[in-house]
Structure 1
Amino acid sequence: MTMKINQLEIENVKRIKAVKLKPAANGLTIIGGDNNQGKTSVLDSIAWALGGDRYRPSQAAREGSVIPPYLHIVMNNGLVVERKGKNSDLKVTDPSGKKAGQQLLNEFVNQLALDLPKFMEANGKEKAQTLLQIIGVGDRLTELEQEEKRLYNERLAIGQIADRKRKFAEEQTYYPDAPKEIVSAADLIRKQQAILAQNGENQRKRENLHRLEQEYQQVTEELSRLLRRQTVLEEDLQTARKSAEDLVDESTAELERSIAEIDEINRKVRANLDKEKAEEDAQDYTDQYSRLTARITQVRDAQTELLNHAALPLPGLSVSEGELVYQGQKWDNMSGSDRLKVATAIVRKLNPQCGFVLLDKLEQMDMKTLAEFGAWLEQEGLQAIATRVSTGGECSIIIEDGYSKEEDAGRAQESPKASKWKAGEF
């Protein structure tokens, strides 16, 4: 059963002299009046009566009163709570007449219901943490938020590196005519030496041919005398000619040019390699960035899924980046009535048995907002007892100089009329 306040009587507490109130079971009960008349004292008295000595005002007794404070509250299930006497002793009587104490009250009284400003004044993350602990997803959502933050920071760093690599690659000059690998001067010199050696061998063969031709000339002149020798020489000559006919000298001009230009060629090769490496690095970091983006999306989807399946106390209420969000607005952008809705809904979720909440200073709301908030309370079956600096028709009772106006009027009617004195008459 949801516990609510059926009626209350308060005497001699703070600014209150005597106040009686029967709040509406559902919706908004507004305690009106000017400043310093005792409106907030009513809320403080309820908090003290139900919440225990931790809510006892530092100067509980009304100044100037010789009668100690008296608090009497009847709950909707018949439970009676009293504080009276010199020490304001607590007396709790259940519907069956059995005595009880503060422990019974603590079972259904939500501490934040008695001190809603404590929740309202908490920072955004504290409010969100309260909600998440209530619905049982706080630890998991914190893990997801930390994972998202870590991935976001990692992706940011990767993206910055990828941008630098890409910019560096774009600034590099590329030479399409350069070799793919660094050219070795030693290799070119070895090739040159091999060609020169082959050319030397060719030269030796040419010189041999020349020598044979000279000798042939001599032999020819002595043909008659050296006929046999001539035959041998003719065979040698034919062999030498065949060997010489197939010889072709290779040019070293290309190698000499390569050797002369090797530094420039290698500069171009290195430039091309640097550009290709920079492009590869840029692509690699771009791929990492894309993977991290996908992972962040997964984490955010997991957060949304977690909150979508959580038993949130109010439709449209969620948590984003560690802060409460209602109807797409963070706390600092919510209207006054929306803030009260959110706070009241969360407080009720903390202890569903507690069906009431105490609110102070509703003068910040205009009449339309006040009506909307009251309608929402009735729709939710919640009881709110609130104060407002006003004496208008929206107020359920008016506190004036520590009295509710109805009580004050009653005392005036009960007071004997002053008699006029006449000489000789008693």
Structure 2
Amino acid sequence: MHIVRLNAENIKRLSAVEIAPNGNLVEITGKNGQGKTSVLDAIYWALAGTKPIQGKPVRDGADTGSVTLDLGEYVVTRKFRVRDDGEYTTSLTVANKDGAKYSDPQKLLNALVGDLTFDPLDFSRMKPLDQVIALRALVPDYDFVEADRLSLKDFNARTEVNRDIRDLQARVEAIIVPDGTPDERVDLAALMEELQKDLEANEAARRHAEKVNSHTAAIATLEEEIQRGRSDIARLQAEIANIEKNIAARELGIEEHRDLIDDLGLAPAQIDTADVRQRIAESETINRNVELKKQRRKLNAELRDKTEESANLTGSIAVRKAAAAKAVRDADLPVEGLELTEDGVLLNGVPFDQASDAEQLRVSIAVAGAMNPRLRVIRVRDGSLLDDDSMAALASYAEANGLQVWVETVQSGREAAIVIEDGHVAKREEAGSDA
């Protein structure tokens, strides 16, 4: 669907203009301030709703203005009226070939008009990621929204997992286990039992020694008494018999004590408890290190699991990226050499924003045409960026793809160009004399 005829009256700088386009490239040219931009704005205002209409759409000195577009299948008319306060009112009608009017004309037009119809260079001005999103509309066989949703879900999950990984790594690194720490705890109860037995044995040895010392002391006492008795013999001759008797009794006691000592046998040796005491002292440190070792082993296992989970999520994202890339490669994009990457758009392997102005305009027009399958009309206000070769290429592209491209240029010398002078379409001879 193309514009078959444009009629505009009292719109911006236009007085009365009627244009019946001939061919796919409609070049509107003329000096600045003559009304050529008003022609393209008239098309814009007729189709795009009230939002883009400027504050003063009606020509100075006029009370009303109108734009009528004959689209073949539909006739679109937008009228303007200036109020007493200087503001304006506007109305829109869309009728079919039989003259029947539609109850919601703007809704009908919105279904016909693509997002880039009125300014294809909006595409070149987009951020790289926004360009990628716009071009995804041209890849119908792949659900980018669902893929983005799943990738965002995996990305967020991976972020959480990686946060856990960093936390686990920090916790693992914070646990310092000395070299040589055993895997199992020291049996402190067994060591205490061993110490208790050693202490009991030492206590028995001590009691044995006390008994021996007691008997030894008794022997010493008796021997001292014998010595005193023998010393008294000289002085106590009268008592010799009695003393000897006492001596004999004490000697008998000595023998009895010696027999008792013999019965006791040799005293057991003292056991050195330093080793077990040292092991008991070290057991607390060892057991603490064993617990640290077990804790570190557990954290390392969790770390391995989280790392594997993160790798799996990364793999899922990569698979979807690969599927999206394949869908783009398989899609019939409107310009040869146009590629979509995750981060932006490439043209012949070069970032799109590094292409020349003419290349960007050419691609933007092609993208706009691909996004506008019903109303094949595109408005280009920056046609002066195109040289003769680029303009010829644009005309060929428009014809090959069934587009009607309205291009604004300055002082074109091309014969087919429509020259606007002082709000009117200039006659060919007039246009030629001023060119």
Shift of 1:298: 0.6
Q: Secondary structure at the match of 2:374?
A: coil
Distance 2:14 2:174 in 1: 78
The Cα shift of 1:99 comes to 0.9
Q: Which residue of 2 aligns with 1:314?
A: 333
1:401–1:145 Cα change, 3 Å:
farther
Following superposition, the deviation at residue 41 of structure 1 comes to: 0.8
Letter in 1 for 2:11: V
CA distance, structure 2, for counterparts of residue 83 and residue 378 of structure 1: 27
Distance 1:7 1:148, change over 3 A: same
Give how far 1:147 is off.
Answer: 0.7
How far apart are the structure 1 equivalents of 2:172 and 2:391?
Answer: 59
Partner of 1:14: 12
* Structure 1 residues 347-372: Cα deviation after superposition (integer angstroms, max 9, x where no partner): 55655212122222233456666565
Amino acid at match of 2:333: L
Per-residue Cα deviation, 1:231-290 (whole angstroms, up to 9, x for no partner): xx9xxx99x99xx9xx9986544214434xx14x53355346435633542453244123
Does the 8 Å CA contact 2:137/2:371 hold for their aligned counterparts?
Answer: no
- Of 355-364 and 299-308, the range deviating more from structure 2: 299-308
Query: Given the superposition, is the C-alpha separation of residues 92 and 409 from structure 1 closer, same or farther in structure 2, using an over 3 Å criterion?
Result: farther
Q: CA deviation at 1:42?
A: 0.8
Calculate the TM-score normalised by the size of structure 2.
0.63
State the match for 2:156 in structure 1. Answer: 150
For 2:165 and 2:13, the matched residues in 1 are separated by 64
Change (3 A) 1:277 1:30: farther
Q: Which residue of 2 aligns with 1:34?
A: 31
Provide the C-alpha distance between the structure 2 equivalents of 1:387 and 1:174, rounded to a whole number of angstroms.
80
Deviations 1:69-119 (A, max 9, x none): 4645444xx44736499868857452xxx1133549638631635533795
1:398 paired to 2:419: yes
Counterparts in 2 of 1:350 and 1:179: CA distance versus 1, 3 Å: closer
- The one-letter code of the counterpart of 1:101 is K
Deviation at 1:22, TM superposition (A): 1.6
8 Å Cα contact 1:108-1:351 kept in structure 2 = no
Tell me, yes or no, if structure 1 residue 354 matches structure 2 residue 375. yes
1:175-225, Cα deviation, whole Å (9 max, x unpaired): 3176842463x643431221343466689899999xxxxxxxxxxxxxxxx
Alignment gaps of 5+ in structure 2:
82-90, 213-258
- Whichever residue aligns with residue 197 of structure 1, its letter is E
Where does residue 23 of structure 2 map in the other structure?
A: 24
**Partner Cα distance (2:431, 2:384) in 1:** 28
Instruction: Tell me the distance in 2 between the aligned counterparts of 1:411 and 1:12.
Output: 25
Q: Residue 308 of structure 2 aligns with which residue?
A: 290
Compared CA separation, residues 365 and 62, structure 1 to 2 (3 A): same
Instruction: Report the Cα distance in structure 2 between the residues aligned to 1:304 and 1:342, rounded to whole angstroms.
Output: 25
For residue 285 of structure 2, what is the aligned residue in structure 1? 267
Give the direction of change, closer, same or farther, for the CA distance of 1:392–1:198 in structure 2 (3 Å limit): farther
- The DSSP-based 3-state class of the residue aligned with 1:35 is coil
Q: Could you give the per-residue CA deviations for residues 320-375 of structure 1, whole angstroms, max 9, x where no partner exists?
A: 47xx6455777756665665566556655655212122222233456666565555
CA distance in 2, matches of 1:289, 1:382: 53
Distance (Å, rounded) in 1 between the aligned partners of 2:50 and 2:181: 91
Matches within 5 A, 1:347-386: 347-348=368-369, 351-364=372-385, 375-386=396-407
Distance in 2, Cα, partners of 1:20 & 1:408: 17
Question: Structure 1 residue 399: deviation in Å?
Answer: 2.8
Q: What is the CA distance between 1:154 and its match in structure 2?
A: 1.6
Asked if structure 1 preserves the Cα contact closer than 8 Å seen for 2:6 and 2:70, the reply is yes
How far 1:129 sits from its partner (Å)? 5.7
Distance 1:50 1:201, change over 3 A: closer
In 2, are the aligned partners of 1:50 and 1:81 still within 8 Å (CA)? no
The 2-side partners of 1:307 and 1:380 are apart by 25
Residue 170 of structure 2 aligns with which residue? 164
Q: Which residue of 2 aligns with 1:4?
A: 2
Q: Counterparts of 2:431 and 2:392 in 1: how far apart (Å)?
A: 30
- Cα drift, residue 381 of structure 1: 3.0
* CA offsets 1:40-76 (integer angstroms, 9 cap, x no match): 211121233445666665434322458x64645444x
Q: CA–CA distance in 2 between the matches of 1:19 and 1:408?
A: 18
Q: What is the match of residue 48 of structure 1? A: 45
5+ long unaligned stretches in structure 1: 210-232, 413-426
Higher Rg of the two aligned structures: 2
- SS of residue matched to 1:290: helix
Count of aligned pairs between the two proteins: 375
CA contact (8 A) 2:120 2:361 kept: no
What TM-score do you get using the length of structure 1 for normalisation?
0.64
